A and B are shown apart, each in its own frame.
Chain A
């Protein structure tokens, strides 16, 4: 699938799309809460995106740091003394709307802190474009990222509702003038483990589902959505912890029930670079939130599970994710149970060794498989040292990192069972 796609890129038109009106206008919506370290870089990178009809909307989600001040200073923002704010999707009250004297396509919305979902809804209410792209405030879009996404909109005969691109990890990489210059692997272990994990997740998981036409998870850090469709289903839901996952599930449900043709998919070549946690405690927060979001979404849309009315999504994709969600419990409990069983004499040493070996060898196989796909396709890590380090970390991640992630998921399952719904903000270092 990936090779077929890459070969197609050899002849598919790309830059022709810019020249004509076929490409739909897009609003990039950036929700920012206390992002003083990253916001200017993110807006600058959005400004540099190679796309003809672009509007950039930054939603300051009640930041208590200098996020808004920096935006005002850097882009000569002027507070509009009067503005119309029509709530096509109900949101919290907007405190102010700012226009830039330097960049007419930049708008900043200032509002009370109510979370990312509500901020995105505010952005949608202000947006003038038929499509919007939600981008995290600590992310850098590659120049052609939007163009590569919209190529699908131009070519598709089915209405495109949502498209997701690839998220790659920016830690350790030299970013100059908001552009990715020198690709390097980070020195710290934790981000490298995450690189291996992301490669596997995007090239194995998401591309695999795309092949089966069952894309269900698109990363909120970089997703293109059709505005009307999102408004029609009521916008992002503020009381879930992963609004990106929930909205995709809702869109699937909506269009399947309406029996209208639609396309929600993953495109492997547009890239958005984002920062990942470098501390275990922050990684734990992030992963617990993701898993809690998955469980919440599966619970909200439980009626879709095993329901033939929802086709492949209900019969195959959602059951898979349910299995994955439960897998974390089995995996986390599996290790102590097997060891305890051995200690209590219920299991012989031979089986214990075989069980642990199988778990590790299979994990290594998946990681190496992901790196293999990366090597076959985009090869974004060009040095030999990169390849060897990735392979080594692909092996090493099975000795502690994977178990740690399972533990976070296990903890999230408990949070879910006890009704925990809070959005945990993940603070990152910021690109220097």
Chain B
């Protein structure tokens, strides 16, 4: 027993000493390494910037820099090249290729080591090595690691050509539908793609959206991406309207979101379809339906909107009051007493908060100054109602 205890103590003591020695040794080595890295970085940055600036023939100096990519010098060189690529994109690409680094990283994307793969994807993307796009596309078809996939796709977005968009989208759809990428990851990739290619990507995207081959979740991600870019046309309108008949709530919400962005008229869409969603059990669909109606909202639709002032969810109430107050001011003033007559406290609170927050009191004063006796009376009535409910005066009550 005693011997066992002594052995255990010595073993723990020995391991502790080893850890201390390792800590100190590692710090010594790392400090030395970082100093060297800093030194190489500063030298290469200066040298290469001068050489690329003077348009020297790369073949003349490439041999001086042929270090293994994992060596300290190689590491420093690659970091410098990424930095310089912003100003000397083509020169850096050619230099990178002649150094043999492109070949090295193109091999690394097949590595079993996920870190090696990830770093290779990132470097090829950061340096915008278009030549590697086919290899990366082929590799990611079999990639199942979600983190690597996100990095690879983000890199691909930077390097693919227009003709590869369709193939890339098909892979993305496949990864999304097989749950290898999260909803937000796909959304991030799509937005980057749309930002880079704009119309050419939108056209491919619209084709995919029009087909019935992709599932509703992927469709809703694509529609959401389209919402955030500055683009609108009739096809998009048709796609959004068509998807309103879906059973998938996310897809309905995103379609309504797209409609809210487009300038639609009564001829474009059967309003009863959108009005139906004002009573949908899911709050975010009700919210999107209000937003979709905002551009075409008129007096005839007031009755449909007023019940939403009493909605359980504050974003819905707020959007409803926002839409109602977008009507011409004389109609709003006429209707406010009716709306303030709603029994639900939160509905009344939302209206009063909107009046105060959006400086409607100034608008009221302005109307009073115009001198219309009828309007003045209506506004005074409003202020009296509010005072009765909330026991505070706002400027109109005193005027």
Spell out A's residues near B (CB within 8 Å). 4, 7-8, 10-13, 16-17, 19-22, 81-84, 86, 153-157, 350-351, 354, 357-358, 361-362, 364-365, 368-369, 371-372, 375-376, 379, 384, 387, 391
Contacts and interface: CB of A to CB of B under 8 A. Distances in A.
Given A11-B122, A156-B182, 6 more contacts: A7-B118, A21-B187, A21-B191, A84-B353, A155-B146, A365-B19
B182 A154 contact: yes
Residue with the greatest number of chain A CB neighbours at <10 A, chosen from B150, B179, B346, B394: B150
Contacts of A13: 150-151, 154, 188
Interface in B134-193: 146-148, 150-151, 154, 179, 181-182, 184-185, 187-188, 191-192
Contact of A371 (B23, B147, B150, B392): B23
A387 B27 contact: yes
Tell me what chain A mostly uses at the interface: helix, strand, loop, or mixed. helix
Contacts of B390: 82
Residue with the greatest number of chain A CB neighbours at <10 A, chosen from B2, B188, B314: B188
Instruction: Please give me the 5 A-B residue pairs with the lowest Cβ-Cβ distance, nearest first.
Output: A11-B118, A11-B122, A154-B184, A22-B188, A7-B115
Given A84-B353, A153-B184, A154-B184, A358 B118 contact: no
A409 B199 CA distance: 64
Contacts of B184: 22, 153-155
B119 interface: yes
B2 A84 contact: no
A11 B185 contact: no
9 contacts: A19-B191, A20-B191, A22-B188, A81-B356, A361-B13, A365-B15, A365-B19, A371-B23, A391-B23
Nearest to A83: B353
A368 B352 contact: no
Interface string B1-29: 01001101100110110011011101100
- Contact size class for B? 35 or more
B353 A372 contact: no
B6 A354 contact: yes
B101 interface: no
A132 to B, nearest CB: 15
Nearest to A82: B356
B16 A8 contact: no
A59 to B, nearest CB: 19
B349 interface: yes
B178 to A, nearest CB: 11
Given A82-B352, A156-B182, A375-B26, A11 B228 contact: no
B222 interface: no
A357 B9 contact: yes
Nearest to A364: B16
A416 B13 CA distance: 37
Contact of B22 (A351, A364, A372, A384): A372
A387 B23 contact: yes
A365 B182 CA distance: 41
Contacts of A86: 314, 346
A157 B182 contact: yes
A8 to B, nearest CB: 6
B19 A368 contact: yes
Contacts of B16: 361, 364-365, 368-369
Given A20-B188, A22-B188, A81-B392, A12 B151 contact: yes
A235 B392 CA distance: 33
A372 B392 contact: no
B145 to A, nearest CB: 10
Nearest to A6: B115
Residue with the greatest number of chain A CB neighbours at <10 A, chosen from B2, B16, B314: B16
A387 B122 contact: no
A426 to B, nearest CB: 32
B118 to A, nearest CB: 4
A153 B349 CA distance: 34
B260 interface: no
Contacts of B192: 16, 20
